[in-house]
Amino acid sequence: MTLDYDVVVLGAGPVGENVVDRVRAAGLDVAVVEAELVGGECSYWACMPSKSLLRPAIARSEARRVAGLRGHAFHPLDAHDVLAHRDAVVGNWKDDGQAAWVASTGADLYRGHGRLHGPRQVVVEGPEGDRHVLTARHAVAVCTGSRAVLPDLPGLPGAHPWTSREATSSGRVPERLVVVGGGVVGVEMATAWQALGSRVTLLVRGEGLLPRMEPFAGEHVAAALAERGADIRTGVSVAAVVRDGGTGPVTVVLEGGDHVEGDEVLFATGRRPRTEDIGLESVGLEPGSWLSVDDSLRVLGYDWLYAVGDVNRRALLTHQGKYQARIAGAAIAVRATGDGAVDTTPWGPHSATADHAAVPQVVFTDPEAAAVGLTLAAAEATGRRVRAVDLDLTSVAGAELYAQGYAGHARMVVDLERETVVGATFVGPGLGELLHSATVAVTGEVPLARLWHAVPSYPTLSEAWLRLLEAYRDGADPA
């Protein structure tokens, strides 16, 4: 039996949910297909559980730097309580509430594995052997996200390594945890499990942590992890993994012959799209590939197929995927209803330009690292004439009030021709909440002359903006 809908959405994570919300608001009928849990990776194995594990670690660390609390904040975290709270945050890996939300929109939810079966058609194989054929009158949106990549290493499959999923859902604290990878997942999980009692060894192929941010961000995070006992080794590569019988201690063998032992090993070494088994070959696309899209999130060369969120590789971040979903949903609705024209001009309502110019990200380590826009090196690579303005955050009154012995750093990257901010990076306790002001400045292309009149409250951490502007004025390029 074939069932007809205006739109079929593959994947009911936060990206798919937002596409559903937008097209339903326009009056279109929609089917959404989910093979696992409604709510997706973010709700159950990424953003929500990881931040619930990190919050106690950061709160305790900050309390240790506050007068009157320092002597009371050196007890071990109650790991059982932290893990129980994590379980509650993810609804004990049950999706009743999220599924009820989908139903409340009027969308039809199909549980099972969905595959494209030619243009505008999706076949769903249900968990009980049931089969549904869904036809989309206007659009199919692929919102299937990404999965962790494990390298091809001798012994690794039989060693049962952790990926980000196991790292955020483990029900016990390993005595020794080896983390391979110095990106966001690696440093966040090193922070969380170290605070819960694991002895952490962090193995990084490159020369520093958080390589996509300004170098000072990774340096601050590395110094804090090392101060708390983590063994950080940079410039090393893993050659093999040994774990007899898949249980017991695991040995990570490094190139050159050295080795590290642990009770668990986490590989945080990249992601790939979940497109290997969704029928891409039936419409002339390569299974397992990233899907290239235009700024309305329509797959290049197709007038009916959209790829939203991680699968298009623009920005593998939940908030960016949800932003794309709002854009895509609005574009689908306009094209389907003929209610006006699709506006894909820069900053138009159907154009995902923030994926190019102003992607914000917070790394919830201790200290937090937050960035938006271009690093100095990336800005210089575009050929712009730019200048970096740096600030030691101990000069900000709000920093000392926030925590005694506060350590942090801020940088804004200025386009000297236009005198606008094209990038900003902050590292220090509590600075994640400062990032949106930087995002507004970069996205809005606000001239520095106007930012002078955006007065930060005293004494808050946001006074960093005033100090950055003063530093730019005092050392501005004379040309």
**pLDDT tens over the chain, length 479 residues:** 689 999 999 999 999 999 999 999 999 999 999 999 999 999 999 999 999 999 999 999 999 999 888 888 888 999 999 999 999 999 999 999 999 999 999 999 999 999 999 999 999 999 989 999 999 999 999 999 999 999 999 999 999 999 999 999 999 999 999 999 999 999 999 999 999 999 999 999 999 999 999 999 999 999 999 999 999 999 999 999 999 887 889 999 999 989 999 999 999 999 999 999 999 999 999 999 999 999 999 999 999 999 999 999 999 999 999 999 999 999 999 999 988 888 888 888 999 999 888 999 999 999 999 999 999 999 999 999 999 999 999 999 999 899 888 999 999 999 999 999 999 999 999 999 999 999 999 999 999 999 999 999 999 999 999 999 999 999 854 43
CB 329 within 8 A of CB 322: no
| CATH match of 367-474 with 3.90.320.10 | no
Q: Which two tokens stand for residue 42?
A: 């973010």
For residue 478, the model assigns a pLDDT of 42
Phi-psi region of 257 (alpha: psi -120 to 50; beta: other; left: phi over 0): left
In this structure, which topology does domain 2-39+95-147+273-354 adopt according to CATH? FAD/NAD(P)-binding domain (3.50.50)
User: Three-class SS string for the chain?
Assistant: CEEEEEEEEECCCHHHHHHHHHHHHCCCCEEEEECCCCCHHHHHHCHHHHHHHHHHHHHHHHHCCCCCCHHHCCCCCCHHHHHHHHHHHCHHHCCHHHHHHHHHHCCEEEECEEEECCCCEEEEECCCCCEEEEEEEEEEEECCCEEECCCCCCCCHHHCCECHHHHHHCCCCCCEEEEECCCHHHHHHHHHHHHCCCEEEEEECCCCCCCCCCHHHHHHHHHHHHHCCCEEEECCCEEEEECHHHCCCEEEEECCCCEEEECEEEECCCEEECCCCCCHHHHCCCCCCCCCECCCCEECCCCCEEECHHHHCCCCCHHHHHHHHHHHHHHHHHHHHCCCCCCCCCCCCCCCCHHHHCCEEEECCCCEEEEEECCHHHHHHCCCCEEEEEEEHHHCHHHHHHCCCCCCEEEEEEECCCCEEEEEEEEECCHHHHHHHHHHHHHCCCEHHHHCCCCCCCCCHHHHHHHHHHHHHHCCCCC
Q: Is 286 exposed, middle or buried (0-12, 13-18, 19+ CB in 10 A)?
A: exposed
Residue of 40, 44, 16, 41 whose CA lies nearest to 30? 16
Q: Which CATH number fits domain 157-269: 3.40.50.300, 3.40.50.2300, 1.10.10.10, 3.50.50.60?
A: 3.50.50.60
Domain(s) labelled CATH 3.50.50.60 in the chain stretch across: 2-39+95-147+273-354, 157-269
Residue of 412, 410, 353 whose CA lies nearest to 379? 412
CB 306 within 8 A of CB 363: no
Domain(s) labelled CATH 3.30.390.30 in the chain stretch across: 367-474
Within 10 A of 70 (CB to CB), how many other CB atoms are there? 12
CB 349 within 8 A of CB 329: no
For residue 2, the model assigns a pLDDT of 80
pTM to 2 decimals? 0.95
CA–CA–CA angle 73, 78, 84 (5° rounding): 135
Q: Which two tokens stand for residue 450?
A: 């106007």
Per DSSP, what are the bridge partners of residue 32?
A: 9, 109
Residue of 369, 421, 61 whose CA lies nearest to 217? 369
Residue of 373, 323, 273, 315 whose CA lies nearest to 184? 315
CB 22 within 8 A of CB 333: yes
How far is the C-alpha of 281 from the C-alpha of 275, rounded, in Å? 10
